[in-house]
Amino acid sequence: MRIIYLDIDSLRPDHMGCYGYERNTTPNLDKIAEGGARFNDCYCASSPCVPSRASFMSGRFAVNHGALTHWGPGYDFYYPEGDGHSQTMPFFTRYIREAGYKTVTFSSFGDRHHAWWYFAGWDQVNSHTLKEGNEDAHEVNAAVIPWLKQHGKDDNYFLHIQYWDPHTMYTYPKEYADQWQESPAKDFPSEEIIAEHTKDVFPRSASFLHTAATIPDTMPRTIRNRDDFKHLLNGYDGGISYMDKCVGELLDVLKELGIEDEVCFIISADHGESMGEQGIYMEHGSATEAVHHIPLIVNIPGVTKPGTVVDGFIYNVDVIATITDLAGLRVPSGWDGASFLPALRGEHWQGRDYLVMDHGLYTCQRAVRDEKWYFIRTYHAGLYRFDDVTLYDMENDPFQTVNVAEQYPEIVKEMDHRMMEWQQQNLGKIGHRPDPLQQVVETGPWKYVTLDGWIDRLRSEGREDAAEYFINKYKV
């Protein structure tokens, strides 16, 4: 098989046409989806970038692979000590080579995050620029397309291509944002909600949208009203549209090679993106629905029935397990993922009853998600506005605006029990190292924005009241 995995940074499923988005942002991805299966309930087990892609490489949850943040305590990638490589928890890239696959990546991820473990097991690693993830899709294609033209007709390869364009900053040609000027923006957040958000004083809030000095025209400086929000939304959708245009260029090459109907496509993301949820804009800083819900499209010629739609909870580690199963290998016992290959074949399959997810970069949180409820326990809020215990009714409050924990104590108890049981199952393993989430809690989630630095900024902008709030909260 020829497998192409499109790994698209910060892509929300509800901004794709195949998931019902009104704007025509993803015609090429939609075409791939039409020929295969679209999964409605795929979630990254851990966010953001480093934890998620560590799960991609290891097949394990962050509580087991150890890299739950981007550096410092809680960042150590766990792997069995000693010479040689583990057979129970192998790197995905090494393992699939046992089935005869050539593994090739076009990604600057390992360089961007000093994640040297990311480079393990690939036949070929192509970082293609020194921009550390700030390259646009045409720069990725400039490296990928020559490889495809030379090797696309080879058999048995796993080609991983990472696009960054939906991630800030939005640096693609501006006309891709301008195309949405006459298109209405989605309803959430409303003018009234945005007005409330302007009172927030945390990074990536409506009034403190940026931490960088230079802002491209594709982004507003603040979110004061719906017009500003539409400006931001146009920028995000412009990045998606530009990326999709470049995916179309790949499809053209496959057609030129005469193999467009012989390539297996898997399309997903490392995480989503908050666009007003919890007052956070263009960021992936919490264990919330907007951040953890990711797209998944699987198109396997001869296996997937065109137009298949699959409901049922799965993790991103289940995707890796399924690729392994598809390649004819058993899923390793040390992995946390389970194969959903029967769902691709149209056979009986049932998703997980619930998911447990976590985040350890900007906040320290664990969450439990089932069909109706989304429960979050916040161990360290960082600079953000989160209650210690949060419960959302996803059927009636999909944008997670109202904490109903006090109204449903029995649900809180049940979800808390699920979380504790999950933690016991994972942390109770023989030889398990410390919980990386607790390592971040001990030192604080102060990475890209530090506590002292934020207090100084608030003071420089005349927000002594907000500065004092954080000083008193953390006893600075």
Residue 212, pLDDT > 90, answer no
- According to DSSP, the residues that pair with 163 across neighbouring strands are 8
The rounded mean pLDDT for the chain is: 97
- % of residues, the chain, pLDDT over 90: 96
Map out the domains of the chain as residue ranges: 2-353, 356-446, 447-476
167 pLDDT exceeds 70? yes
What is the pairing mode between strands 364-369 and 373-380? antiparallel
Q: How confident is the model at residue 346, as a pLDDT?
A: 92
Q: Report yes or no: 331 and 60 within 8 Å, Cβ to Cβ.
A: no
pLDDT at 322 over 70: yes
If you average pLDDT over residues 112-128, what whole number do you get? Answer: 94
Please give the average per-residue pLDDT across 402-430, as a whole number: 96
Q: CA-to-CA distance for 236 and 4, rounded, in angstroms?
A: 24
Q: Are 358 and 287 in contact (CB under 8 A)?
A: yes
Average pLDDT over residues 384-389: 98
pLDDT per residue over 121-133, tens digit each? Answer: 999 999 989 999 9
**Cβ-proximal residues to 303 (8 Å cutoff; 6+ apart), any chain:** 326, 344, 345
Q: What pLDDT score does 432 carry? A: 86
Class of domain 356-446: alpha beta
Q: What is the pLDDT of residue 234?
A: 98
At 476, the pLDDT band (50, 70, 90 cuts) reads low
Task: Report yes or no: 37 and 259 within 8 Å, Cβ to Cβ.
Answer: no
Q: Does domain 2-353 have CATH number 3.40.720.10?
A: yes
Largest CA distance in the chain: 65
Q: How far apart are CA 83 and CA 74, in angstroms?
A: 24
Q: What is the mean pLDDT of residues 266-295?
A: 98
Residue-level pLDDT at 213? 84
Calculate mean pLDDT across residues 45-66. 98
What is the DSSP code (8-state) at residue 188?
A: P
pLDDT beyond 70 at 372: yes
Distance CA 421, CA 61 (A): 15
Mean pLDDT to the nearest integer, 292-304: 97
pTM for this prediction: 0.97
Q: What percent of the chain has pLDDT over 70?
A: 100
pLDDT exceeds cutoff 80 at 430 = no
Distance between CA 61 and CA 77 in Å, rounded?
11
- At 8 the three-state DSSP class reads strand
